[in-house]
Each structure stands twice: as structure tokens, then as C-alpha cells.
Amino acid sequence: MKIKRYVATDMRQALRTVRDAQGPDAVILSSRKVDGGVEVVAAIDYDEAEARAGVELSPVPPVRPRPGVAEGRAPGARTGHASPDADAGAGAVGGEPLVSALREEVRSIRGLLERQLSGLAWGELGRRQPQRAALIRRLAELEIHPRLVRELVAQVPATTDVETAWRQAMGLLAHWLPVGDGDLLDNGGVVALLGSTGVGKTTTVAKIAARFAMRHGAEQVALLTTDSLRVGAVEQLRTYARLMGMPVRVVGAKEELRSAIEDLAGRRLVLIDTAGMSQRDIRLSEQLALLQGGSPMVRAYLVLSATAQRSALEEVVTAFRGAPLEGCIVTKLDEATGLGGVLSVVVEQQLRVAYVSDGQRVPEDLRPARAHHLLTRAVSAVQRQGQTCDDESLELTFGALGAAGQL
């Protein structure tokens, strides 16, 4: 058995070097990160029985020893004639650390094999269906979730024209995007805005109130807030209300909310600003219960920031589903470097987008959501930022799907 160590800048280069030096039958014994790249230990003419017998790896410079693994020996190699049970149960002589080291090596080798398979699958897709690979790359650059990319690609007919495939994919995505009709500004009602801290709920309340007042008169609008935790938020809403000539009240309990809604029954639009809370805040359930107990007339909209990461947005939607949601309002489009995350979430969660906001001006920077407008903004953001997907990321994400037969 011939064992050698290789150091390269990345795993792909290391595997290429191993293949060139030892051929396709080489066996990867271990891999680890080192300064400047990765280190891989590989063997040719690998003999498991020989390894179990404790063959010295003297030709290989010693790898950093782990607890329970003799320096200069293959991970998991046994010395002398100890039985397997002896190693596994020899707590006093490092049996448990040895098991941990073996598990780590197995995970490392499994990860290495998965990366190899992903790279091969992605490369094969690029050779067999270059237009599909190009479409996947462009959708990934939009930061569309891989699950959604897979569904879009599956729906697009095979074609040699990448631009045609792109237009078809964008048309499908626009069709899948749930958007509202902006009925708040026409029909009014009792409307509560929910969301995490800092997403722009209070400013959005002011924008909707001002737009409605322009159509139907300020006397038709009233503002409520359940945010008694932050003095600044209440004062901000009072400032907006004073400028627009509308009443504002602070409510902190179900009874107060119910009473306020009854008192304002003559107003066509009652907007409720709620306290901004993290989706992990234990008081969130109390806030949702307050709204649900206040009146069955309350229609709740979730405010989502386009600057948030997709995983955080998914968590927010899940947490606030405790209140029946009519839809959502997406804010901070002007600050977002990409819209793929929020678009993926609203499509997968089927959460209707009623309005979008792209600035702080009241009431100008608010408009009804339109699917094609959102997609145009998403593409423009990518072009403005010059976002690209490197091959390694595409291999890891979409090569794995290809290896599983899902592309």
C-alpha cells in the first residue's frame, strides 16, 4: 500500500492532483483544512486488512494527531493485536476519543465523496444541457431558493435558446407570485400591521393613512397603536396623526382595543400599529392574542423587510402565522441588494403581497404590488450589484440535486 500526502489550494485541485499522481483507483484516507488550502492523504493498492494490522505510514509526513490516534498512523489503525472490542471499550486508554476520531474521518470522507458527486453531476448537466445549466445559474444569481429554481426549470420546455428559456421562467415566476389588488385604499376596514422590529410598520401605517385620506378625507381615518413599550414609536405615530388631522389612541388590552374599535365604527379605515417584536420574543403570542381577542373585524398584514435574509423571513412568517394573515407588505426595496429571498418566501408560503414600499417619503413611497414590477426590480438589483454565482456554489447546491436525479 502506497500512501502520499497532497496539499492544494482547494479540494477540487487536490482531487485532480491525486488522480493525476495515483490514478482513478486511489483511495482518500483523510482530508483537512490547512493554512493556504487543504491537505489530503491518499493511498493506492489500499488493503484494509493491512491497515488494520497497523502498517506504518512512514513515507507520509505526520498529520496533526487527534486524541486516541497514534501520530504517523492512519486514522483508526490498530497497534498490536488488540481486538475491535478492546478499542471500543477501552475508556481508560482513549477508546471514546478514538471512536470520535473515526466518526470525524467518516464524515469527512462522506462529505468529500458528496462534493465529488455534486461536481460531476453539475459538469455533466453543463455538457448535456448547457441551456438548462445557464438558466439555473441566472435564477441562482437572483437568489431564488433552490427548491423554486428546480420547479421553474422543470416547467420550462427544453430549448437551445437561453433567452427564451429565461423569459419563460420569468413569466412562470410572475404567475406564481401572489399579489394583491390594493383594496385597502378603496374599501378600508380595521387593519393591523404586524412585523419584527425595524421593518417600517409605523411609517407604512402613515403612508396608507395619508393615501386613504387623499381619496376619502382625513375624517374617515383613525389610528390605534398597541406599542406601549417604546415611547418614541408612539410619539412618531402621534406626529403623523397630528399632521394629517387624524385621532390616535394607545390601547394595551383586548377590552381597550374592542372599545376603541366600537367608538371608531363611523370611520372607514382604522389602522392599528403594533409593537415590533422578534419572531422569538415570548411576548409575541400575547400581541397576537390581543388582536384576535379585540375584534373579529381586524385584518392583519405582515410587514416584511426586503433586506432580511430568506431564512429569517421564513422564520418570521411562521411565527406570525399565529394571527390569520390577509397578506403582507414588503418594505425597504430601495435598500435591498437583492429580492430573491423575499420573493422565494412569498411564493413558497403563498403570502399575498398587497403593497411595496421603496423609501421614507409619506405618502409617495408606497404602491400596490405588481408581479412584473417586483421581478424587474429583482433583476435590476442583480445587475446593479454585479452579483454572480461561483461554480463551487452551483456544484454544491445544484450538483447535489442533479446527482439525486432532481434536475
What DSSP character marks residue 398? I
- Residue 303's nearest CA partner among 337, 268, 272 is 272
CA Rg value for the chain: 30
The pLDDT score that the predictor gives to residue 387 is 67
The pLDDT score that the predictor gives to residue 161 is 83
Distance separating alpha carbons of residues 372 and 358, to the nearest angstrom? 16
Domains and CATH numbers, the chain: 2-119 (no CATH), 184-369 (3.40.50.300)
What DSSP character marks residue 9? S
Distance separating alpha carbons of residues 104 and 120, to the nearest angstrom? 24
Percent of the chain exceeding pLDDT 90 equals 24
What DSSP character marks residue 179? B
CB 358 within 8 A of CB 402: no
What is the b/e burial string over 154-186, where b = at least 16 CB atoms within 10 angstroms of the residue's CB? eebeeeeebeebbebbbeebbebbbbbebebbe
The pLDDT score that the predictor gives to residue 269 is 94
- Residue 52's nearest CA partner among 28, 89, 80 is 80
What is the model's pTM? 0.66
C-alpha cell at 177: 407570485
pLDDT along the chain (407 residues), means of 10: 82 81 77 82 64 42 38 38 41 55 72 60 62 82 88 82 88 91 80 89 92 92 82 79 90 84 90 76 66 74 92 90 86 91 93 91 89 91 74 61 49
The pLDDT score that the predictor gives to residue 391 is 62
The pLDDT score that the predictor gives to residue 255 is 85
CB 79 within 8 A of CB 70: yes
Secondary structure of 17-68 in HEC code, one letter for each residue: HHHHHHCCCCEEEEEEEECCEEEEEEEECCCHHHHHCCCCCCCCCCCCCCCC
- With a CB cutoff of 8 Å and minimum separation 6, the contacts of 128 are none
Beta bridge partners of 321: none
Distance separating alpha carbons of residues 40 and 38, to the nearest angstrom? 7
C-alpha atoms less than 13 angstroms from C-alpha of 266 in its C-beta half-sphere: 4
The pLDDT score that the predictor gives to residue 390 is 62
The pLDDT score that the predictor gives to residue 221 is 94
Tens-place pLDDT, residues 229-243: 665 667 888 888 899
The pLDDT score that the predictor gives to residue 404 is 46
Strands 353-357 and 27-34, by their bridges, are unpaired
